[in-house]
Chain A
Amino acid sequence: MQTSQPQYFSFEEICCATELPSRTIIEIIDHGIIEPEGASPDDWSFNIHMITVTKKACRLHNDLDIDWAGIALAISLLDELEQLRQENRELHRRLQRFMDGE
């Protein structure tokens, strides 16, 4: 049985999980792409969502040749787009329930 749990990761662990050098992670944090809890690198705590955002940021950085400021903007816009799409799907579904004869 594989147990999943909401995990929190240290700075060292996120470097290991994403296979990125610490300076890249710091760059991503400096641009506000992810915001770990804790005041200094020794106290930083990251969640799984931050790992996936970091990996996505790196893919966009490498594949599309976008600088980190651009990545920060792209990721926040992509998040907003996903939220709006989700909201749109939900509203559409609820509208259907009202329009269809049930």
Chain B
Amino acid sequence: MEFKDYYKILAVTPEADSKAIKTAYRKLARKYHPDVSAHSEAEEKFKEVNEAYQVLKDTEKRAEYDELRQYAGQNQSTGGFQPPPGWQSSAGRQDSSHDADFSDFFSSIFGGAHRGQAGGFSQQGFNGKGQDIETDLPIFLEDTLANSTKNISYGLPHRDQQGRINQINKTLNVKIPAGVTDGERIRLKGQGEQGAGNAANGDLYLRIRLVPHPLFDVEAHNLVITVPLAPWEAALGAKIEVPTLSGKIKLSIPANSQTGQRMRIKGKGLVRKEGSGDLYAVLKVVMPTIINDGIRQYWQTLASEADFDPREEWSNS
């Protein structure tokens, strides 16, 4: 077990007074709070900072920790930290049934701690209700058009007969209603952590994440597809095939179309309670990549015949 330097975690000196510790904690807690931070390891960092603060803000715990810190400094060569033989905390020994949020290091010194003290994440209720679990559920756009069934698997804290908390994997078949949106949550009552004794289980919250599609972008309940066109298709007009989420359709491109122009295909967007959205085809004129002498000749004719200056606006400025 690694010795945790709580002073280093809070970026304060071992001589720091309680006010300096509180300020340092507040600053880091704001920085790493998982509800606020976009940092990839926010939750882990927040737990670490919180654990450090729980010890250093408490005069008794801090004194015990300082004693151990000194002991660890003198016993570095033993490989990993172990509290001195017979160590028992007088400041923090508590029942060890709720110690999932603190590190093994903390538990080895102070025993378990109630989650109520451990910050907001994965708090077990005061009445022993199991903790709620929140997890992302990736959904393909195609699967939102009609009711679908998804097999999901998620980690759940489970207390074994010795009272230790392990992660177990749970699998469920979940019905996903048509028209779910990105960020929407689905609540499955009682599918979270098991409650203590006769208390209720926690709930499972599934946060819908729409998987980015290789062709379609989502704009509220509409879809957008970029449609590449040959220059002559844009100039002369064309009838082309365009994919939609539910099969291909024919689309008439009018003559003299421009890059960036949007064409609405009614009812081919995402499904919503208030009616289907639309699909927007955004035109993008692309140049052919292979040009032989014959083709170049056509372009040259076009260049001399067409009276067109694409930078006309510049000459006025």
Residues of A within 8 A of B (CB): 1-7, 17, 19, 48-49, 51-52, 55-56, 58-60, 62-65, 74, 78, 82, 85-86, 90, 93-94, 97-98, 101-102
Task: Give the contact stretch, choosing among B64-72, B160-168, B182-190, B249-257.
Answer: B182-190
Give chain B interface residues in 190-232, CB to chain A under 8 Å: 191, 203, 205-206, 212, 217-219, 224, 226, 228
B174 touches A4 (CB 8 A): yes
CB-defined contacts of B219 to chain A, threshold 8 Å: 90
Nearest chain A CB to B123 CB, angstrom units? 8
A48-B185, A48-B187 given; A2·B35 CB < 8 A: no
B36 touches A60 (CB 8 A): yes
A59 touches B217 (CB 8 A): no
A56-B35, A59-B35, A63-B119 given; A90·B187 CB < 8 A: no
CB-defined contacts of B127 to chain A, threshold 8 Å: 19
B149 touches A98 (CB 8 A): no
B129 touches A19 (CB 8 A): yes
Nearest chain A CB to B32 CB, angstrom units? 10
**Complex formed: what's the CA distance from A58 to B224 in Å?**
38
**Complex formed: what's the CA distance from A82 to B224 in Å?**
21
A62 touches B186 (CB 8 A): no
A4-B177, A17-B187, A49-B184 known, 9 other contacts, Cβ within 8 Å: A52-B134, A59-B35, A60-B35, A63-B29, A63-B50, A74-B36, A94-B282, A97-B217, A101-B286
A59 touches B121 (CB 8 A): yes
- Across the A-B interface, give the 7 residue pairs with the lowest CB-CB distance, nearest first: A59-B120, A4-B186, A19-B125, A97-B226, A3-B175, A63-B120, A2-B174
Among B177, B188, B228, point to the contact of A6 (Cβ < 8 A). B177
CB-defined contacts of A49 to chain B, threshold 8 Å: 184-185
A93 touches B175 (CB 8 A): no
Interface size on B, residues (CB 8 A): 47
CB-defined contacts of A102 to chain B, threshold 8 Å: 226, 228, 284, 286
Q: Which of A2, A3, A65, A102 has the most CB of B within 10 A?
A: A2
Nearest chain B CB to A7 CB, angstrom units? 6
Among A1, A51, A93, A98, point to the contact of B187 (Cβ < 8 A). A51
A19-B126, A97-B226, A102-B228 given; A2·B286 CB < 8 A: no
Q: Which of B29, B187, B217, B286 has the most CB of A within 10 A?
A: B187
**Complex formed: what's the CA distance from A60 to B32 in Å?**
12
CB-defined contacts of B282 to chain A, threshold 8 Å: 94
**Complex formed: what's the CA distance from A90 to B217 in Å?**
7
Q: Is B26 at the interface (CB under 8 A from chain A)?
A: yes
A4 touches B176 (CB 8 A): yes
CB-defined contacts of B183 to chain A, threshold 8 Å: 82
**Complex formed: what's the CA distance from A70 to B187 in Å?**
28
**Complex formed: what's the CA distance from A1 to B191 in Å?**
12
A94 touches B205 (CB 8 A): no
B187 touches A7 (CB 8 A): yes
Among B35, B188, B217, B286, point to the contact of A4 (Cβ < 8 A). B188
Give chain B interface residues in 247-289, CB to chain A under 8 Å: 282, 284, 286, 289
CB-defined contacts of A55 to chain B, threshold 8 Å: 132
